Structures are given as C-alpha cells and as structure tokens.
Chains A and B, each alone.
Chain A
Amino acid sequence: MDIQEYFGKCLEIASNPENYKTLLIGAVYSLIVASIAWVMGIVLGIIGASLKLNKNKFLRFLGNCYVELIRGTPMLLQILFFYLIMPTLITLITGNAFRVNKFVVGTIAIGINSGAYSTELIRSGIIGIDAGQWEAAMSLNLSHWDMMRYVILPQAFKQVVPPMVSEYITLIKDSSLLSTIGAVELLYSAQIMGANYYNYLFPLMMAGVFYLVMTFVISSIAKKVERRLAESD
C-alpha cells in the first residue's frame, strides 16, 4: 500500500455519512458517561469535603483514606477493579452470577475517581474563605448550619466553579479509558471503525475533533457563567 492508497482509503471513510453517525453516537455516550460521573463526583466531593473538614478524627481519617487511595492509584486500575474484580467477588459471595453493564460499572468507577478530586476542590474552596468571614458570622451568633448555608458555601461555590468545569473537561477525555473494557464510547467506536477499514487515520483524528468540540463548547459556556458570577460580586 502506498501513501496515495492510504489517503484514498481515508476519503472513502470520510465520504460515508454512516461513519459520522457512528462517531456521533459514540460522542453522546462519552458525554453521558462524563456528565453522570461528574455529578456523582460532586456529590461524593461534598461528602468527602465534609468528612475531611469534620471535627471528628475518625471521619477525617475516612475522608483522607478515600482521597489518598483514589489519587494514588491509576484510574485505569480502578476501572478494571470495578469491571473485573468486583462482579466476581459479588458472584462468589452471593452465589448468584452477577453480570455488569460496562457503561454502568465504568461510569461508577470514573465517578468515584472524580469524587476524590472534587473533595479536594471543594475543601480548598471552603478553607480558602477568609477567616474574617467565619468570625463575623460567629460574632453575629449564626448557627453553624446558617453560617455554612448563607455565608461560607455561597462564597466557596464561586471559587469552585472554574476548577469544577475543568474537572468536567478532564472527565470527558478520561471517559475514553472505558474503551479498554469494551464500552463503545467515542474512542472505541473510532477504533472499531479503523479496524473495519484497516485504516485508523480518519476515525481517530475525527474522534479527536469530536473531543475538541465538546471540550471547547463546555469551556465557552463556563466562561460566560463565570463572568455572570463575577458580576454579582
């Protein structure tokens, strides 16, 4: 095969509209995985941050364990754990065959992973609030709950929005790791297409373009939101 043939094959793939549809469906799956994992991560992050900032030593220890364990091991390993090890263990323990959906397990794994990073983001957003704000709320006799609800969290939220958006963008890219367990998201659709045509150039580059478009759109929206938030200061 010479270079002309190589690029000719590319054109052949590119001229078939079905191929775009396949990649688009893959992209939608990627976006869904990233979105659910992101929301899951935020919920876990709020829980994790309140553990790590708790007065109770044991709860703080739990929060630290979660963050260190997740951040200290590769995400791919975590995905493989949930896909390969967890179902087997459940099967052995319950005695009933436990089958898993690749997307479900994969999204859970990514969500749990993201939660550890969100924990740190939210925690640093809260402790980044000036000590004077806590003291003023305290001297005005606000209860701990009112202080968090009306004074600290609204200010922390603003701090946390930009890094949370970049976490979302990271997740869109990280969702491609699910290709390793055979979940047909964007990257894996491209790989399958490449294998069918014996040519990876167009499918992989096109997948890259899809990722780029998704991340670009999200960061543009985020910039607008940030500007809006800054105005109300």
Chain B
Amino acid sequence: MIKAEHISKTFQNVKALDDVSFQISKGEIVCLIGPSGSGKSTLCRCINGLEIPDSGNIYIEGKQIDYTDQKQAAEARSKTGFVFQHFNLFPHMSVMDNMILAPMKTLHMSREEAITKARELLSRVGLADKEEAYPKKLSGGQKQRVAIARSLMMNPQIMLFDEPTSALDPEMVMEVLEVMKQLAFEGMTMVVVTHEMGFAKEIASRIVFLEEGKIIEENTPDLFFSQPQTKRAQDFLKKVLY
C-alpha cells in the first residue's frame, strides 16, 4: 500500500535517514522503534510529505508521489491521516469545529453530515460530551483522542502516528493506546512511531527497528522482543525493557 524506496534525508549535516526502504501492506500495523534521533519520525513524516526526502521515492498504492507537486500531494494525503506528538489541535476552534473544518472544506461534506459523523467519531473515542469544549480545556489524553478522531473524519486508509503518547502524562497514555488498539482491531492500516514497547508487542504485525537513519532489524514482534537478531537491537531492548 505504501512503499518507500531508498529514502535519504539530511538535516544540517545530520543524516536522519540513510537509504531506507520500507513498505506496508493493507491491514498491517507496523511499529517503528529505535532510540531518539534514529530517523523513525522522519520516515513517518516523509510518508505524508511533511518532510521532503533528499532522494528516494514514495509510492502510495503503486503510484509514485512527488510531494512538491500540490495536486499529487493532496491526492496522497487524502489517503493518509497523521497524528502528531503535540496533537496540533486548532486552539481557536471548539472540538466540533476542529473536527468538521477539513471535511467541509476539502471533502465538501455538508455541515449536518460532518456534524453527524463527528459526533459518531467523538463517541467512539469516548468524548461525546466534549464537542463544545475548546482544546485548552482538555487534558493531553483527551486532546490526542480528538486529534485521532479529527484525522479519521477524512476517511484515511492509512493512519500515521508520530509518537502519539510521548507528550502525555503517564496516566493518560492508556486511554490513547486503547483508542489506537480499537482502530487496529477494526483493520486500519497503521504506521506507529512509538516508545511503548508493550503496545508494540501487543498490536504490531511487524516491528521495524531503526538506528542512525538505517533500518537495522525487521521482524514479527514475538521474534523481535524474544530473540533480537542484531547486537544493536539487543542493546536497545536491554535499555528500554525494565
């Protein structure tokens, strides 16, 4: 469904991604893990064109995407939803307005239609009573659940999560992971950049381990966590698994 070929990206002399190739098929849930600065977020952002790779190609459903071309970028983004570490809700709009803005403007949904859909999604993420609230009044976990619901409004076929729980207080991590788990069970194709090893182990169909801009190891969660093949993955797991 998504294929990334030979992606390289350098930020001010730091190689964030070094000739990385990656693919994901429909219904798969891929967790990207690795130490900070390993390039996992950059890879996730390249898929959605939030970063433009210096070299390499991105294919979505077999079609090569040039994200510098507005039309192609829009078409590619209509298939993907993106969830940010810092939620990025629009602070000057109520939860409901956050939800319905893009569907109305981009998908030309009618207001009533958008509101009906928004209410349905909000109750799915357990926030049916918050549609009038402004983001400032929500907890981190609630904000992230609204953000997930907001991107689901656009009917994405693939959801990209860039460290969705890293900015949350520990007691709020669960509620967000639960929503993601529910999505996973419904068969959503997902790319998740995460530090939540337990979550990755439970729901991933595949683990991709990156370090210093390269994919070091790729395996099923069972094998990856029980018998990591590479020294680097072994070292990493030793540090993060308590």
Contacts and interface: CB of A to CB of B under 8 A. Distances in A.
B163 to A, nearest CB: 13
Given A139-B50, A139-B77, A141-B154, A146 B88 contact: no
Given A155-B91, A155-B92, A139 B106 contact: no
Contact of B91 (A138, A143, A146, A233): A233
Nearest to A158: B92
A166 interface: no
Contacts, number: 67
Interface residues of B, number: 26
Contacts of B154: 140-141
B88 A135 contact: yes
Contacts of A232: 92, 134
A142 interface: yes
A133 interface: yes
Contacts of A136: 82, 84, 88-90, 147
Contacts of B195: none
Contact of A150 (B78, B91, B101, B151): B101
A195 B48 CA distance: 72
B106 A141 contact: yes
Given A141-B74, A141-B106, A135 B91 contact: no
Interface residues of A, number: 20
A50 B72 CA distance: 25
A72 interface: no
Interface string B51-93: 0000000000000000000000010011011101010111110
B24 to A, nearest CB: 18
A151 interface: yes
Given A150-B101, A150-B105, A233 B88 contact: no
Interface string A118-138: 000000000000101101111
Contacts of B88: 130, 132-133, 135-136
Contacts of A138: 49-50, 77
B84 A135 contact: yes
A141 B77 contact: yes
A141 B84 contact: no
B106 A143 contact: yes
Nearest to B101: A150
A230 to B, nearest CB: 11
A132 B77 contact: no
A1 to B, nearest CB: 63
B74 A139 contact: no
Nearest to A136: B88
A154 interface: yes
A155 B150 CA distance: 19
B173 interface: no
Q: Which 10 A-B residue pairs are closest in the complex by CB-CB distance?
A: A136-B88, A140-B102, A139-B82, A132-B88, A146-B105, A141-B77, A141-B106, A154-B92, A132-B86, A135-B50
Interface of A: 130, 132-133, 135-143, 146, 150-151, 154-155, 158, 232-233
25 contacts: A132-B84, A132-B86, A133-B88, A135-B50, A135-B82, A135-B84, A135-B88, A137-B90, A138-B50, A139-B80, A139-B81, A139-B82, A139-B151, A140-B102, A140-B106, A140-B150, A140-B151, A140-B154, A141-B78, A141-B106, A146-B106, A150-B105, A151-B101, A232-B134, A233-B136
Given A133-B90, A135-B84, 7 more contacts: A137-B102, A140-B150, A140-B151, A142-B102, A143-B106, A158-B92, A233-B136
